[in-house]
Amino acid sequence: MSLSPLQLHRYFIEEFFCKANPDFKDGSKIGMNAFQVFFETGEEVDPRLRRIRLTVSQDITKGGNEPFAFKVVLVGFFEVVKEFFENQGLEATNKLINVNGPALLYSAARELLALLSGRGPDPNRTVDVLLPSITFLDFQPMPKTATGREVVGPRKLPRTKKK
């Protein structure tokens, strides 16, 4: 076994919100119409160090039948080992951080939501939130915010026509 060249030093929950949908219809198709994921990276003096702020949210939409509305914001502090940075360079280091860093935080958000939503209001069934598996390979930078931080989100995929 070998350690990853990206090490998570610590993370914390900056914000957490979870509310059951009183109009949720058990047995009907579960909606994810307003599911969103994005992350921000902080500029550090040392390119091997990075702060990542991940936001995962779901709103309740009219007719969407989402069991819960939620918002989780996690902040993690990462370091790339010196040998990786020296051998692979800045571009590979940034890719490693921007793909694997949010993935580590996303898995923590998944477990947090599954745990806290595991006891739903429906007496016949527990409807917990299990976030879908996603990849951060296709996330692209979005315009910088007023704070100068880069916000990163998913690439817009073309819609396909249903037959």
Domain contains 13: yes
So what's the pLDDT on residue 10?
Answer: 97
So what's the pLDDT on residue 23?
Answer: 87
List phi, psi (to 5°) of 162.
-80, 140
DSSP string, 5-33: SEEEEEEEEEEEEEEE-TT--TTSPPP-T
Residues of the chain short of pLDDT 50, as ranges, are: 155-163
Domain contains 161: no
So what's the pLDDT on residue 156?
Answer: 39
Domain contains 159: no
Domain contains 134: yes
pLDDT tens-digit series, residues 98-139 = 999 999 999 999 999 988 877 766 665 656 677 888 888 877
Tell me the residue range of the domain where 133 lies: 6-154
Number of domains observed in the structure of the chain: 1
Domain contains 162: no
pTM: 0.81
The CATH number covering residue 94 comes to: 3.10.420.10
Domain contains 143: yes
Domain contains 130: yes
